[in-house]
Amino acid sequence: MAELQSDLPHNLMAFVLDPMSEQTIKAAIKGLTMAFSEVEQGGIAETVNFLKNNRTPKILIIDLSESDLPLGDIAKIREFCAPNVAIIAIGSRNDVGLFRDLKSVGVSDYLIKPLNNPLLLQRAIEIANGVNKEYVEKVGKVIYFVSSVGGAGATTVAANIGWILSNRHFRRTGILDMDFLYGTLNLMLDIKVDNAYLDIMESAEKVDDYFLETIFKKYDQRLYYLGGLVDLLRGVNAHTEAFEALINSIRRQFNYVLIDSQRDLSKINKICIKKSDSFVVMVEMSVASAQNTVRMLEFLESDQPGKRIWLVANKIGLSAAGALAKESFEKIINRKIDCVIPLDESLALAAANIGQPLVMSGGPLTEVLENLADNLVGKIDNQKVEQASENEPMFSADKIRRIYFDICDKIISKFKI
């Protein structure tokens, strides 16, 4: 099968293993006049390959007739789907127990082969397209990034984690820049901002799933950016109902939503905190950072009890003279740091100048951030990042210098200096 790619999601995409099912699905699509729908020959592997390289369709029909572990295959496919996809499964096993198991993991319907009744399939598609509450309620995970002090690296880490989730984990990821006055996340991705994002905050009626397609900026096939810079005199006049509707809509369309937040408790920031599933607090080894970290932890632990809070230390081993030792910092905040990133600010600035995430250059820094991303999505246990953070120094001055010169070479190439 030729690799399919599109900026817009299919209304329906089907992968089947026999000609009769293919013709029946095509007849059902024709009867429903569903534009932008396709049927391809293939099974689980072809379905996964499609999802890795394309937007998740609104409805996905998959053939389980050759699957030895149908529930496991559904779970595998779910890993690469947006939360709001509706799945219709077809198969050869006439088993009530299997039908119930598939329904329990969010499959809209299970149809038995031979699939030769277009009207029966049309009914299943209509139900999946309109009234299946089970899949509509599924939402993506929201990760909230905040710095304890200015320059601690929340923007840089959010941009790089977003790239990893998109390009290493194949998840549809949206990054929101909540700094409407001086936001710089767009520079990390070489994206030009506009104010379409901010205009809709004045009215909740403007917010719907279709409108999101027009305001998100695309970085690559699975990574999208949303942000805006207002006039400094105007400021931000956010309509809280509109913003909450926006966040709810975004969560339905993305596997992961990363919020690059500000250190304030404005009404819209409180909404972000409430909707978040976990928090990444960026710290640096200073007394001011320790003081703010203590206050942030107290607030988040009382306001959002039970949610995971990651403490990520930046610029370890590269800070100015007089910085606190890691052990002293941990003693002040009465908590261990989860991850250490020996990030040199000059590297981050150089990467922003060429508009690409640092992790694209490879090296030890990439490994640290990939480990952190694995933890955030639950791929490995908590100990792995902690072990990585204890191996100091993470890389030598010579390695830092090589990464820095590599980025400088890319700047020179881009701007033909």
pLDDT score at 42 = 92
CATH number where 363 lies: 3.40.50.300
pLDDT score at 3 = 42
CATH number where 116 lies: 3.40.50.2300
Is position 3 within any domain?
A: no
Average pLDDT over residues 262-269: 89
Which residues, in sequence order, are CB contacts of 30 under 8 Å at separation 6+?
Answer: none
Same domain, 147 and 245: yes
- Write the pLDDT tens digit of every residue in 195-210: 766 666 666 666 666 6
Domain that holds residue 204: 141-415
Poorest-confidence range of 54-58, 258-262, 289-293?
54-58
Same domain, 66 and 155: no
Q: How confident is the model at residue 299 (pLDDT cuts 50, 70, 90)?
A: very high
Going by C-alpha positions, the residue among 268, 22, 275 that lies closest to residue 139 is 275
Same domain, 215 and 81: no
Poorest-confidence range of 75-79, 101-105, 212-216, 288-292?
212-216
Higher-confidence residue: 12 or 399?
A: 12
Same domain, 248 and 370: yes
Domain boundary among 136, 167, 199: 136
Q: Is the pLDDT of residue 189 over 80?
A: yes
6 vs 3, 50, 56, 161, 221, CA distance in Å? 10, 11, 10, 24, 8
Task: Note whether 247 and 272 are within 8 A (CB).
Answer: yes
Is position 220 within any domain?
A: yes
Same domain, 87 and 234: no
Same domain, 95 and 176: no
Same domain, 321 and 367: yes
Same domain, 219 and 125: no
Q: The pTM is what?
A: 0.72
pLDDT score at 40 = 93
Same domain, 111 and 176: no
Q: How confident is the model at residue 213 (pLDDT cuts 50, 70, 90)?
A: confident
Same domain, 152 and 83: no
- Write the pLDDT tens digit of every residue in 240-251: 888 888 898 899
- Write the pLDDT tens digit of every residue in 35-51: 889 999 999 999 999 98
Same domain, 113 and 160: no
Q: Is the pLDDT of residue 386 over 70?
A: no
Same domain, 163 and 123: no
pLDDT score at 35 = 84
pLDDT score at 181 = 85
68 vs 21, 44, 393, CA distance in Å? 20, 11, 47
Is position 2 within any domain?
A: no
Q: Report the chain's mean pLDDT, rounded to a whole number.
A: 82
The residue to which tokens 């599924």 are assigned = 138
Average pLDDT over residues 397-407: 53
- Write the pLDDT tens digit of every residue in 314-359: 877 655 556 788 899 999 999 999 999 876 666 667 776 777 788 8
Is position 6 within any domain?
A: no
Q: Which of 115-124, 128-137, 386-395 has the highest mean pLDDT?
A: 115-124
pLDDT score at 404 = 55
- Write the pLDDT tens digit of every residue in 366-379: 888 999 999 998 86
